[in-house]
Structure formats: structure tokens, C-alpha cells
Amino acid sequence: MEYLHTLPNNLIVYIIVAHLLFGIGLYGMMFRSTLIGILISLELLIQGVGINVMAFGTFLHVDPLSARIMTLFLLGIGAAEAALFLGIAVAVFRNYKTISINKLTRLKG
């Protein structure tokens, strides 16, 4: 129980969790077979980056406010990217009747 109490104040825990999210998201981006699945994995990846920035800003930097602002920008960019990705997925589905990346091969040589 004593060890558990030091857990929230330990930078290493945050870093490991952030990298774990990044790795799981990377795995999903490589091996999911639909566009929506890839979008979900991409969101996980961005969350890992956000935790990393916030943890470093809190523990290593003397000015924690700039880390918060950086993470806010990251949230905004993630939202914009999700909106655009969903628009593209809907357009692709309307034109090709599928979002499986194994069947979207028109540009393949």
C-alpha cells in the first residue's frame, strides 16, 4: 500500500502509460482493416502524446502553464483531424460502397 501512495507522484508511471497508449495505437493503425478502426487507433496515439507532454510539463518544467496550453492545442488539432477523417471516410463509403482498406486498391499499380 505504501508503494501505491507514491504512484500518482511518479513521472515514470505517466511516461510508461503514455508510451503504452502510443504503442497500442500504432499496432491498431498497422493492423486494423477499416478506416474507422484506423481513426480510433489514431485517437489513442494522440492521447498518448498528450499525456507525455502534460507529464513532462508538470514534472520537469518550471512553468506548468505552457504545458497546459500545448496540450490544449493538441486537443484542438486532434478534433480537427477526426472531423476531416470522418468526412473522408463517409465520402469514400459513398463512392466505393466499402471502407475496407483491402478493397480500396484503385491507385495500386
Find the binding residues for another protein in span 39-68 (CB under 8 A). 39-41, 43-44, 47, 50-51, 54-55, 58-62, 64-66, 68
Separation of alpha carbons 41 and 44, rounded Å: 5
In sign, the C-alpha dihedral spanning 99, 102, 103, 108 is positive
Strand partners, 100: 34
- For position 106 contacting another protein by CB under 8 A, the verdict is no
Name which of residues 7 to 46 contact another protein (CB under 8 A).
7-9, 11-17, 19-28, 30-37, 39-41, 43-44
Q: Give the contacts of 3 (CB within 8 A, at least 6 positions apart).
A: none
81 binds another protein (CB under 8 A): yes
Min separation Cβ 54 and another protein, Å:
5
